[in-house]
Amino acid sequence: MNSRSWVCAALLVVPAGVSTAGVDDAGMVRSVIATSVSSRLGEHARVTVELLQAPGIAGAVAASALPGTRVGMPARFLLTLADGRRVSAVARVTADARHLVAARNVPRNTELTADDVQWVDGPINGQLFDPLPSAGQVLGARARRAIARGEVITATVVKMPPAVRAGDPVTMVIRAGTMEVRGPGRAVSSGAVGDVIRVMRPAHREPLRGRIVEPAVVEILR
pLDDT tens digits, residue range 104-135?
A: 999 999 999 999 999 999 999 899 888 888 88
Q: Distance (Å, rounded) from C-alpha 208 to C-alpha 149?
A: 39
DSSP state of 221: P
Average pLDDT over residues 54-73: 84
Q: The domain spanning residue 209 has which CATH number?
A: 2.30.30.760
pLDDT value at residue 13: 35
Q: Do 10 and 86 sit in the same domain of this protein?
A: yes
Q: Which has the closest alpha carbon to 134: 161, 166, 110, 107? A: 161
Q: Are 66 and 91 in contact (CB under 8 A)?
A: no
For residue 186, give Cα distances in angstroms to 40, 57, 174, 203, 209.
21, 36, 15, 11, 12
Q: Do 88 and 7 sit in the same domain of this protein?
A: yes
pLDDT value at residue 20: 33
Answer yes or no: is 164 within a domain. Answer: no
Domain holding 181, by residue range, is 169-220
Q: Do 87 and 11 sit in the same domain of this protein?
A: yes
SS3 23: coil
Q: Do 8 and 44 sit in the same domain of this protein?
A: yes
Q: Percent of the chain, pLDDT > 70?
A: 87
Q: Do 17 and 35 sit in the same domain of this protein?
A: yes
Q: Do 193 and 209 sit in the same domain of this protein?
A: yes
User: Looking at the DSSP assignment, which residues form a beta bridge with residue 86?
Assistant: 80
Helices marked H in the chain — which ranges? 3-11, 25-41, 135-138
Per-residue pLDDT at 26 exceeds 50: yes
Q: Percent of the chain, pLDDT > 90?
A: 47
Q: Is beta strand 179-187 parallel, antiparallel or unpaired with respect to 86-102? A: unpaired
Q: Do 91 and 116 sit in the same domain of this protein?
A: no
Q: Do 8 and 25 sit in the same domain of this protein?
A: yes
Q: Distance (Å, rounded) from C-alpha 177 to C-alpha 218?
A: 17
Q: What does pTM read for this prediction?
A: 0.67
Q: Do 116 and 88 sit in the same domain of this protein?
A: no
Q: Do 14 and 68 sit in the same domain of this protein?
A: yes
Q: Are 171 and 164 in contact (CB under 8 A)?
A: no
pLDDT value at residue 178: 65
Q: Do 87 and 21 sit in the same domain of this protein?
A: yes
In total, how many domains does the chain have? Answer: 3
Q: Which has the closest alpha carbon to 66: 57, 58, 77? A: 77
Average pLDDT over residues 185-211: 91
